[in-house]
Structure 1
Amino acid sequence: MTTALLVAALLMGFFGSPHCLGMCGGLVTAFGLSMKDISPAKRRALVFTYHFGRLSSYALLGLLAGFIGTTVLEPLMKGNSLPRILLGSVLVFVGVTMLGAPFLNKLERFGMRFWQYLSPLRQKVFPLNTFPRALTAGLLWGFLPCGLVYGALLIAVVAHNPLGGAALMFVFGLGTVPMLVATHETVGWLREKIGRFHLRQLNGAIMVLSGLAVVAIPMVMANMHGGHGGGHGQMDHGSHSAMMSDADSTGHHDMSQMDHDMTPAMDSTVDHSMHDMSDDAMSHHAHHEPSS
């Protein structure tokens, strides 16, 4: 799990939170109405509690997603570039979804069946006047069908790291908190700014570009490195051959020159030595010859 993925998850949660407000606005309103007779201090504590429960649900889902990635995908991705390609593809998919493509609508409709199945349990948490009820409400809230949540879970799966998947989903949930705890006036201001500057679309475009970069840049670098290495290999082989050839030529030249230089000197020395030896022998013979 890299810092870049955590930042992407945080921004995905924040800039996608207007969508979350549309999905969760009724639930937030119901929670607020159930706490209308509670003191402001306790109300804030209860709000913190059910959001903590919601983020805990996201972290649990991220843990399961990371576990699936580890057990199912990782054996298929050892020693190849599939992890990078899969991660890049998921980032592109999620980015295109944030740009408005309805790819996850069917998955949301499927999740709605499970959410309806939890309806009897959801009714038991009202009113949210105790901390156990608030925590339970938050834990259940984490299973509300949401395409943005499913997109974040896909990233957690390809991260193929259970703890990393849990951290990614928790950080994603943190990004959604400001919009969901803001007052009515602040919510309107946030939605207006995000819509005016097309921040959700901008974040989606950044995710698409990031996914393409994750896939393409290592391939380009590998090709460049391969060509560079091949050139070095050819140059090294040619240089080695040339050096060996030069060394052989130089060696033969030096040996020939040495023979040429040494031969006259040795011949002259031998001739001179033989002449001296002859002169010494004649002188010695003349010295010892008896006189008549």
Structure 2
Amino acid sequence: MTNTHLAFMIGLLGSIHCIGMCGPLAFAVPVLKPGWRYLLWDKLSYQAGRIISYCILGVVIGILGKQIWLAGLQNGVSIMSGLLILLAAASRLFNFSIRTNNSVLLKPFYKLFNYALKHKANHLIIGMLNGLLPCGFVYLALAGAVNTGSITEAVEYMFWFGTGTVPLMLIAGISAGFTGLAFRRKINKMLPWLMICLGIWFIFRGLQLDIPYLSPAKSGTITECR
């Protein structure tokens, strides 16, 4: 599985979780003009805005990842990313909490989002704000992007992650939520196992055991910043 395929699958599976978490924000964005054409255009603009924000995050994380590769720390970062993902998965499976200060992170976001809604901002702008919302699956995608070692590849990784979230989020936005609570709960029970697979993959990748695709050997070259 290539990085882009992995990113797309994280986005696709994560979007089911997102419908329950940030979906209500998408549903709260009003359509300013009646008609299916305007509805579809507004929802597509909203999704495009999220992808733009993910690509911007990809630039930032790509710069960081490039410095990590230049310093020769990519293997350690890959292993550390895998361990953190496994810890997050364990917290879901065994119901223990990892203390975070999400209220502080979310407060300025909600202020901006409410301001945008109040002043009837363009759906593209509102989507860009939504793309910056702290989210566990965005963190997973960023963990993968930082391990690409190239700004271009990091942006590409985040683009395909965002693209993976579009199909279900777009359908949910148009239909105002097409999945029931029971279905989302079943999917959420599967998500920790996906996280475990990703965590193990990052660890094996960092160990460089010369296993094709899973744990390739060190190539001895550094990806150039494109």
TM over 0.5: yes
Task: Looking at secondary structure, tell me which structure has more helix per residue.
Answer: 1
* Aligned Cα root-mean-square deviation (Å): 3.2
**2:155 aligned residue (166, 170, 176):** 166
**2:112 aligned residue (112, 118, 123):** 118
Which structure is higher in RCO with an 8 Å CA cutoff and minimum separation 6? 2
Change (3 A) 1:103 1:161: farther
> How many aligned positions are there?
207
Distance 1:39 1:52 in 2: 20
**1:48 aligned residue (36, 41, 44):** 44
Unaligned runs of 5+ in 2: 213-226
Write out aligned runs for 1:97-246 (5 A). Answer: 97-98=88-89, 100=92, 106=100, 108-119=102-113, 121-126=115-120, 133-182=122-171, 183=175, 186-188=178-180, 192=183, 195=186, 198-218=189-209
Distance 1:220 1:174 in 2: 29
Q: C-alpha offsets along residues 264-292 of structure 1, whole Å, 9 cap, x if unaligned?
A: xxxxxxxxxxxxxxxxxxxxxxxxxxxxx
Q: CA deviation at 1:203?
A: 1.7
Change (3 A) 1:166 1:98: farther
Structure 2 residue aligned with 1:60: 56
Q: The residue matched to 1:106 in structure 2 has which SS?
A: coil
Letter in 2 for 1:118: L
Change (3 A) 1:38 1:57: same
The answer on 1:69 being equivalent to 2:85 is: no
Change (3 A) 1:8 1:89: farther
Distance 1:220 1:140 in 2: 40
Distance 1:184 1:51 in 2: 15
CA contact (8 A) 1:63 1:162 kept: yes
Per the normalisation by structure 1, the TM-score is 0.60
Structure 1 residue aligned with 2:221: none
Distance 2:146 2:164 in 1: 19
Change (3 A) 1:48 1:22: same
Change (3 A) 1:28 1:119: closer
Distance 1:169 1:120 in 2: 26
Rg larger in structure:
1
CA contact (8 A) 2:7 2:157 kept: yes
Write out aligned runs for 1:212-291 (5 A). Answer: 212-218=203-209
Unaligned runs of 5+ in 1: 222-292
Structure 2 residue aligned with 1:260: none
Q: C-alpha offsets along residues 6-53 of structure 1, whole Å, 9 cap, x if unaligned?
A: 22222222222233123212211212xx11752101210111111101
Structure 1 residue aligned with 2:21: 23
Per the normalisation by structure 2, the TM-score is 0.75
Change (3 A) 1:181 1:201: same
Letter in 1 for 2:78: L
Change (3 A) 1:139 1:197: closer
Q: C-alpha offsets along residues 134-170 of structure 1, whole Å, 9 cap, x if unaligned?
A: 1111111111221221232232223231111111111
Structure 2 residue aligned with 1:89: 80
Change (3 A) 1:207 1:120: closer
